[in-house]
Amino acid sequence: MITRSLALALAFAALPVAAQVQDQKPANEQVIVPEVPRREVKLPRFPSKDFEVGVFGGVYSTQNFGSSPVGGIRLGYHITEDIFVEGVLAQTTVTDDSFRQILPGGVFTDNKEKLQYYNLSAGYNLLPGEVFIGSKWAKATQVYLIGGVGSTKFNQQRRQTINFGLGLRLMLADRWAVQVDMRDHVFTLDLLGKRQSTQNLELTSGLTFFF
pLDDT of residue 153: 96
pLDDT digit string, tens, across residues 111-166:
899 999 999 999 999 988 888 888 788 889 999 999 999 999 998 899 999 999 99
Domains and CATH numbers, the chain: 51-210 (2.40.160.20)
pLDDT of residue 137: 83
pLDDT of residue 159: 95
Q: How far apart are CA 179 and CA 207, in angstroms?
A: 6
Give the 3-state DSSP-derived string for 30-82, with helices as H, strands as E and coil as C: CCCCCCCCCCCCCCCCCCCCCEEEEEEEEEEEECCCEEEEEEEEEEEEECCCC
* Nearest-5° Cα angle at 11, 5 to 13: 105
**Beta carbons of 143 and 166 less than 8 angstroms apart:** yes
pTM of model > 0.85: no
pLDDT digit string, tens, across residues 9-65:
555 555 555 444 455 555 566 667 777 777 777 765 656 789 999 999 999 999 989
End-to-end CA distance of the chain: 93
pLDDT digit string, tens, across residues 79-90:
998 999 999 999
pLDDT of residue 192: 72
What is the chain's length? 211
Q: How far apart are CA 179 and CA 9, in angstroms?
A: 92
Buried b (16+ CB within 10 A) or exposed e, 97-124: eebeeeeeebbbeeeebebebebebebe
